[in-house]
Amino acid sequence: MVTATERRERQRAERHQLIITAARELAETEGWEAVTTRKLADKVEYSQPVLYGHFANMEAIRDAVAVEGIGEMAEQMREARLAAPESEGIRAICTSYLAFAAAHPAAYQAMFSLPTKVKWASAETPAPLRAAFNEIVSAFGPYNERNAALAELIWGSLHGMAVLLRSGRIPQEQQEQRLDLLVALFADAPA
């Protein structure tokens, strides 16, 4: 009988996702320092050891939230880019990026600020990470060395803005002009 095993695996996958979702919710509402194995186990209504049946350790759970978040962000950037006129592609990507960072600060933190074991450069780089990066490259045109470099740079700038915005350094009111400047900078990039 295969269906019994199948059902078990499906339930296992569901619980896997349940843990990730619970961790993310907990982080968004109470901050990452509140995401402990006990609280998380309590929230998913299992005991602590169950968590370790799905993830090697707490860091792996945070990394899973990070990968999920990056996938979501990639998707949102893609939708924003496709919905905008071609000439506004870069701006659409930027706005979408910053919107995600503002709307999901804990996920964003897991993605780009907290210590992580997620590899960005190697063969086992998760697909969502590649998708996110390629999405930014797409705003500049076809994939080539120059556009990849531009993508990395604007990514860095966006990350910097996101952090500074969150810490309150940049007043929200000047944000639009700041974004204008960023977009102008990269749109007029010398060949």
Partner DNA sequence: CGCTAACTCTAGCATTGCTAGATTCAGTTT
Partner DNA sequence: AAACTGAATCTAGCAATGCTAGAGTTAGCG
Binding site for a second copy (CB under 8 A): 33, 112-115, 119-122, 145-146, 149-150, 152-161, 163-164, 167-170, 174, 177-178, 181-182, 184-186, 188-190
Binding partner of residue 181 among a second copy, DNA, none, CB under 5 to 8 Å per kind?
a second copy
Q: Are 74 and 136 in contact (CB under 8 A)?
A: no
Identify the residue among 6, 30, 36, 125 touching DNA (CB under 7 A).
Answer: 36
33-41, 88-96, 123-131, 172-180 -> range binding DNA (CB under 7 A): 33-41
> How many other CB atoms are there within 10 angstroms of residue 148's CB atom?
15
Binding partner of residue 178 among a second copy, DNA, none, CB under 5 to 8 Å per kind?
a second copy
Nearest to 100, CA basis, from 127, 120, 61, 74: 74
Name residue 54's amino acid: H
For residue 11, give every residue at least 6 positions away whose Cβ sits within 8 Å of its Cβ, in sequence order, or none: none
Identify the residue among 35, 66, 132, 158 touching DNA (CB under 7 A).
Answer: 35
Identify the residue among 25, 28, 46, 170 touching DNA (CB under 7 A).
Answer: 46
**Min CB(27)–a second copy separation in Å:** 12
CA–CA separation, 31 and 60 (whole Å): 17
Binding partner of residue 36 among DNA, a second copy, none, CB under 5 to 8 Å per kind?
DNA
H helices of 34-144, where? 37-44, 48-54, 58-83, 89-103, 105-112, 127-140
Structure tokens, 147:
């556009």
Binding partner of residue 52 among DNA, a second copy, none, CB under 5 to 8 Å per kind?
DNA
Nearest to 176, CA basis, from 74, 61, 98, 62: 98
Considering the complex, state which of residue 50 and residue 84 has its C-beta at the smaller distance from DNA.
50
Please give the residue ranges that form the binding site for DNA (CB under 7 A): 1, 4, 7-8, 12, 35-39, 45-50, 52-53, 57-59
